[in-house]
Every structure is written in structure tokens, then in C-alpha cells.
Amino acid sequence: MTLSTNEVTTAKHLLDQGKLVAIPTETVYGLAANALDPEAVARIFVAKKRPHFDPLIVHLSGLDQLSDYCTDIPEKAWILARHFWPGPLTLVLPKKECIPDLVTSGLATVGVRVPNHPLTLSLLRQLSYPLAAPSANPFGYISPTCAEHVAAQLGDEIAYILDGGPCEVGLESTIVGFPEGEPVVFRKGGISIESVEALLGPVAVQTTSSSNPSAPGMLLSHYAPRTPLFLYPDGPCVPSPFPDCGYLRFSTWLDEIPRERQRVLSEKGDLQEAAQNLFAYLRQLDQLGLPCIGAELVPNQGLGMAINDRIHRAVTKRN
């Protein structure tokens, strides 16, 4: 991709004025503001209709900035950062005072990562502050994986969209914290648990919490389309193909359903391609205005674990 200096400069000027700019990352688009300016950060919560108890991820330009914003960094965090940054990994670490409480929802820890996208890295290197950025979608809805998704939902709320093309990974970052000094995966994402374990040995995984509002990415219902979504064929809710339903499939088409109402994540059965397509296909199915969507799980390994995590959270909950 050619680096567009003009666009990065425009984004910088607006961010310097405390405005909101959507930024491309390798995972999903973020809705960014100056992380050190509480007034600018407050605008993110308003634009997203995001509850204030949901902490934001702070985006850094490089590994060298980690100790400017975090303290008491365990060696295992350094190992992960050195290996995976820039890349789809967020580390939750004790924050330094300069990070406003609004960013962390009052928590003593902050989520930080170095995103792997040339435009956003170039922008971050030109700024004198890091960028707080949640995914650029209304709270609870499907994350955006291209500039058009952002424009469709938040276009009126933000000053500028830095268009960096479709996101390469398509799933949010993997979040790892160190609550007792040892690594715990809080959110499955663009880096597989297997590759974290290859570096650190076995890690604990604690990705669901219906009671802990400090990390809504862990809430059971999130990333959801407006159309009711059920697991098919494995779910208890849909006994047989609903003729009028839409279908999200892994690698094969259903013969009995018209293809316009189906999306196949990867005909090759490739999990990376499936991850890239997941959110865009969920949006497309949601826009068809169908009575429901049946979603098939993918093989539960590597990136497939994060894909299945998002599908499970998108399932319509019944009380």
C-alpha cells in the first residue's frame, strides 16, 4: 500500500484538536482520540453510546513506549510484546498516572497494543500522545472491518475516517492480562492461544464473565447483529433448516437454501480467510432483513477459537 501522507496529516491535525478519527488496524477499525486528553476520550463514549464502565485500549507507536504508560511489567509481558508487536495482541498491565481514569474505567490497569497497519503506525509516530481506540461500532454491534462499515454507522459522529482498506486479520486483538503476575487470556482474538503457549507454556483462559462489567468484551452477549442469530445445525434453537432464514457457513453451501441467503466464510476451509470475512458477512446477512440467521461453528483450533467465540457471543440470548 502507498502511504498517503496527506491523509495521515489530516488525521493528525484533527486529533491534535481533540476530535475523533477512525483509524485502520490489522484487526478492526478503531475510533481514536488522544488518550491523554479526558475531554477527547469522553467523545468516544458519546459517539459509540458506550457505557463508562467499559475500558479502552491504548494504541502505542512501538515497544519503546510501553514503559512510558505501564509499570511493573512482568518478564512474560515483555516476551509477548517483543514477539507479537506490532500485531493483534493487547496486554493489560498496571497503568502509570498519565493515563486518565476515564480510559481505564477507573481500573488500575490499562490495555495497550501496537497495531500493525502502515497508515496508523505512521500516524502514531507523528503524534505526541498515544491513541485510545475501541472498535469503531456502536456498543454491542458487530465490529467494522472496512472504512464503509464505519461510515455507515458512525459517519455523522466522527471528524474523519482514515481509509486503510479492508482489515487483514478481521478479528479483534487477543487480550492477555497478568492478574497474579501470570498470563491469563481475557479475550480470544487475532493471535491464537497456541502461539501464546508456544512462547510461555500453558496459559489460563478466562474469557467469559457475565458478572464482571469491567470488561464487556467478555460479556456473553456482544458483537451481535440485530437479526436473531442461532447456532445451526448444532444449536438447540433451530431444529431444522428454516426456509426463510439466512445462513452463515464455514466452507460448504446448503443445497436446500438459495445462495443469496448464504455466506460461506472460506470455501477452502481456511481459518484466516474465514476470520477476515466473519464480520462483513454477518453485517451482510443482517442487512437482508430476514427473520433469523443460522450460524455454523468453525473448527475449534487456532483462529477458529476466536471465530467461534464471536459467533457464540452473537447468538441471541433467550431468558
Region binding Mg ion by CB under 5 A among candidate stretches 1-9, 45-53, 131-139, 181-189: 131-139
135 counts as binding Mg ion under rule CB under 5 A = yes
Region binding ligand TXA by CB under 6 A among candidate stretches 35-43, 87-95, 254-262, 305-313: 87-95
Q: Contacts with Mg ion: how many residues (CB under 5 A)?
A: 1
Region binding Mg ion by CB under 5 A among candidate stretches 127-135, 187-195, 233-241, 302-310: 127-135
DSSP assignment letter at 105: T
Using CB under 6 A, which of 15, 92, 176, 185 touches ligand TXA?
A: 92
Nearest distance from residue 145's CB to Mg ion, in Å?
Answer: 12
Distance CA 52, CA 45 (A): 7
Which residues in 119-158 contact ligand TXA (CB under 6 A)? 133-135
54 counts as binding ligand TXA under rule CB under 6 A = yes
Instruction: Name the site residues for ligand TXA (rule: CB under 6 A).
Output: 25, 27-28, 30, 54-57, 88, 90, 92, 104, 107, 109-111, 115, 133-135, 172-173, 175, 177, 186-187, 214-218
Question: Interface with Mg ion by CB under 5 A: which residues?
Answer: 135
